[in-house]
């Protein structure tokens, strides 16, 4: 049973198999004392964790959360060392040093002091690839390329120079673009550029209109580094639409945790029982999810002071209105961007009169 207490010593030494005293396991076989009087001490030891200094900006430190994190990292650390020990125990003694060097390359936080040459069939490849080869992976598994392509890639100095397998594929195909994230995206890009209709869709300049009316110009070809394997579709438009949805979901998760006011309350605002001013990114995300429209994308505009978002709820009929900072209504939408109910329109008129603004919103 691995220890989970942050105040206990690194007692995994008694649980690890014997590997004839190999120095690669000295971190696991020695005790690492922790001072119980200083809760920050575990963070400054062998664990690859950030430090949490006491500063004026952060006077209160959540020690229980930090200690739970340390306990989790200690458990994972001990489990990883146990796996390494078993691997070294199964390795013939003549090859044990080479395997230990490979572990040191792949896990520098655990074996930063253990350095040595690696003997590999691809001496010009990057050390991380050589280490994986020593640990039993095939070139195809390491690179994601076909066997012949993997051999050509690892035989050269591409990997040592920082060129990924995906970038190497594009270079071999004569494509000058931002590096794709994975091999699947690179193969998709090569196939699209070899098909004239899809190549035209990929390289055509497009105009996108932002919520505040600003226009941006660009090509999908310049954004190929945003694609991942799960975004790929036969159609260029469908592929980048899937990528945009994925990126927006990630952004939405971040915004949902932001509960700070994006801007100050407008001077003309007067509270009304059926109207609510949305000043936080988290509130905009909730409104967008419940109303099934894109109001969450307006958080940056609200922060810059370009617009004000008001949520209306009258007898169960809901709508969302966008106003300028001066109180001029830009748009007023119900669920799924449908026209608002008559009661919501009347409530918006009442709000405008109450705040001393123009009485009739723009259509």
Residue with tokens 């949902």: 256
Q: Which residues of 292-319 are buried (b: 16+ CB within 10 A; e: fewer)?
A: ebebbbbbebbeeebbbbbbbebeebbb
- Could you tell me if 26 and 93 lie in one domain? yes
Q: Domain ends where: 64, 86, 106?
A: 106
Sheet of 308-314: strands edge to edge? 275-278, 308-314, 317-323, 329-333
Query: Is there a single domain that holds both residue 296 and residue 238?
Result: no
- Structure token digits, residue 75: 């458990």
| Within-domain flag for 67 | yes
CB-CB contact of 6 with 42 (8 Å): yes
d(CA 74, CA 85): 16
Per-residue confidence (pLDDT) for residue 46, from 0 to 100: 36
Q: What is the DSSP letter of 14?
A: G
Number of domains in the chain: 3
Note down the domain range covering 315: 275-354
Q: Is the pLDDT of residue 277 over 80?
A: yes
Report the phi/psi class of residue 271: left, alpha or beta, with left for phi > 0 and alpha for psi in -120 to 50.
Answer: beta
Which range, 6-20, 69-83, 148-162, 187-201, is most confident? 187-201
For residue 361, give both structure tokens: 């919103």
Q: What is the mean pLDDT of residues 262-270?
A: 92
DSSP assignment string, 192-221: HHTSHHHHHHHHSEEEEE-TTS-EEEEEGG
Task: Answer yes or no: is 323 within a domain.
Answer: yes
Distance CA 234, CA 242 (A): 12
The DSSP-derived string for 17-61 is PP-TT-GGGHHHHS-----TT-TTGGGGSSS--------SS----
Asked if the structure places residue 2 within a domain, the reply is no
Q: What is the pLDDT of residues 293-352, one digit of tens each?
A: 989 989 988 998 889 999 999 999 999 999 988 888 999 999 999 999 999 999 999 999
Q: Does residue 289 share a domain with residue 240? A: no
On whether residue 59 sits in a domain, the answer given is yes
Name residue 215's beta-bridge partners.
209
Q: Which residue's entry shows tokens 């994601």?
A: 144
Residue 37 inside a domain? The answer is yes
pLDDT at 362 over 60: no
What is the distance between the alpha carbons of residues 12 and 95, in angstroms, rounded to a whole number?
Answer: 25
* Residue 245, pLDDT above cutoff 80: yes
Q: Cα(225)–Cα(67) distance, rounded to whole angstroms?
A: 38
Q: Name the most confidently modeled range: 151-155, 206-210, 214-218.
A: 151-155
Q: Is residue 174 part of a domain?
A: no
Distances (CA, A) of 264 to 269, 272, 276, 280, 305: 11, 18, 14, 10, 9
Same domain, 48 and 92: yes
Task: Look at residue 200 and tell me if it is in a domain.
Answer: yes
Last residue of a domain, one of 50, 73, 106: 106
Give yes or no: residues 21 and 81 share one domain. Answer: yes
- The closest of 343, 352, 286 to 318, measured between CA atoms, is 343
Flag whether 99 is in a domain. yes
Residues in Cβ contact with 162 at an 8 Å cutoff, skipping those fewer than 6 apart: none
Lowest mean pLDDT among 138-142, 143-147, 208-212, 288-292: 208-212
Q: Which of 79, 106, 133 is the last residue of a domain?
A: 106
Q: What is d(CA 106, CA 125) in angstroms, rounded to the nearest whole number?
A: 14
Asked if residue 290 and residue 340 are part of one domain, the reply reads: yes
**244 and 291 together in one domain:** no
* Main-chain phi, psi angles of 310, to 5 degrees: -125, 130
For the stretch 62-105, pLDDT in tens is 556 656 665 666 677 667 777 777 777 788 877 777 777 787 77
35 shares its domain with 75? yes
């Amino acid at each position: 049973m691995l220890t989970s207490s942050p105040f206990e010593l690194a007692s995994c030494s008694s649980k690890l198999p014997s590997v004839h005293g190999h120095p690669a396991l000295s971190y696991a076989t020695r005790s690492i004392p922790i001072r119980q009087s200083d809760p920050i001490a575990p963070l400054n030891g062998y664990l690859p964790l950030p430090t949490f200094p006491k500063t004026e900006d952060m006077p209160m430190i959540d020690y229980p959360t930090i200690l739970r994190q340390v306990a989790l990292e200690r458990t994972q650390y001990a489990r990883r060392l146990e796996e390494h020990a078993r691997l070294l125990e199964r390795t013939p003694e003549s090859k044990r040093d080479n395997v230990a060097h490979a572990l040191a390359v792949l896990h520098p936080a655990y074996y930063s002091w253990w350095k040595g040459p690696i003997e590999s069939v691809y001496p010009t490849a990057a050390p991380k690839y050589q280490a994986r080869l020593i640990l039993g992976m095939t070139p195809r598994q390491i690179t994601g390329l076909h066997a012949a392509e993997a051999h050509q890639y690892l035989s050269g100095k591409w990997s040592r120079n920082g060129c990924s397998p995906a970038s190497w594929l594009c270079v071999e195909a004569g494509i000058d673009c931002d590096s794709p994230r994975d091999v699947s995206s690179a193969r998709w890009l090569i196939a699209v550029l070899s098909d004239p209709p899809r190549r035209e869709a990929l390289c055509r300049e497009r105009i996108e209109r932002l919520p505040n009316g600003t226009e941006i110009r660009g090509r999908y070809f310049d954004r190929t580094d945003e694609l991942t394997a799960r975004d790929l579709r036969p159609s260029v438009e469908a592929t980048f639409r899937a990528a945009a949805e994925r990126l927006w979901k990630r952004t939405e998760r971040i915004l949902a945790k932001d509960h700070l006011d994006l801007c100050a309350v407008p001077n003309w605002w007067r509270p009304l029982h059926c109207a609510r001013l949305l000043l936080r990114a988290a509130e905009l995300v909730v409104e967008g999810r419940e109303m099934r429209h894109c109001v969450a994308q307006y958080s940056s505009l609200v922060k810059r002071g370009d617009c004000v978002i008001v949520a209306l709820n009258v007898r169960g009929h809901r709508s969302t209105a966008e106003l300028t900072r001066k109180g001029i209504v830009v748009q007023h939408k119900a669920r799924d961007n449908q026209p608002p109910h008559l009661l919501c329109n009347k409530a918006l008129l009442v709000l405008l009169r109450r705040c001393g603004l123009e009485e009739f919103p723009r259509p």
